[in-house]
Amino acid sequence: MHTIVSGKVEKGLEESDIVLEGEVHMGGQSSFTLVHVYADESVLISHGGVEMGQGLHTKVIQVAALACGILHEQIHIDETSTNKVPNSQPSAASMSTNLYGMATLNACEQILARLAPIYDRLGPGASFSNITNAAYMHRVNMSAQGFYVVPNDRCACTVVELDVLTGDFHVLSVDILMDLGASITPAIYIGQIEGAFMQGFGLFALEELVWGDDGHPWVKRSNLFTRGPGACKIPSANDVPLDFHVWLESNRKNKFAVHSSKAVGEPPLFLGSSAFFAVKDG
């Protein structure tokens, strides 16, 4: 922690280092994926994860496309349903990509192993369409169920400017370095890191639960006053750091995850605490 004093304004700098163990104890932590390859080289994938804007479908498609050597447009994701993929785990704890990406890769590898004799016979110049059509004619099973059974390092450096008379502060700059292994979709990951940091900044530095108690007699007893953005201060566009930089550590292998990827959902949330400590210790 370093503090620079200039009249009534102080600048504080704080670093936060986080290690997250990527595991949730919910009775199994395993995943299934059902993959169908058709004679026209199209692929249909059913997995047990929930797409909620985090890009899970995109990542599963990328895993299958890379494994099969085909275009993303040839791969389709079916709706999540337990009549196709049973006993799915919650899409939580930053594990969905690893769980369903690895299960998808497992299913694709099973199918590719069955297609290998046809590939050897047709030669390296054969397209995936030629191979799947020949496999259909030779009655090769091109469906498979993939199964997979299962820490991240990151740090942030935050500089804030604090008015010691009013308590008003601004985040001037944030530098984040995250170890995400060989990230599958770096652009999506960087967006998630930036969003999670701002969410953590609000959680640790802005938002406060105000209950009706002796300290807040104007609130009905035991009632929560800060129930929404009208009473609870959440981060706005003006709170985004003037300088916001995110770097991804590259070429860090992770043999327990699909293509060496690592969790990105929750880990950067805790990095927002660096802003809180920069203000508090300032």
What are the residue numbers of the active site? 266
Side-chain-facing half-sphere of 121: CA atoms under 13 Å: 11
Q: What would the two tokens of residue 12 be?
A: 């504080």
Q: Are 54 and 192 in contact (CB under 8 A)?
A: yes
Cα(130)–Cα(57) distance, integer angstroms: 27
Sequential DSSP letters for 9-42: EEEEEEEEEEEE-----SS--EEEEEEEE-TTS-
Determine which helix (DSSP H) or strand (DSSP E) holds 158, and give its type and residue range: strand 152-163
Side-chain-facing half-sphere of 191: CA atoms under 13 Å: 7
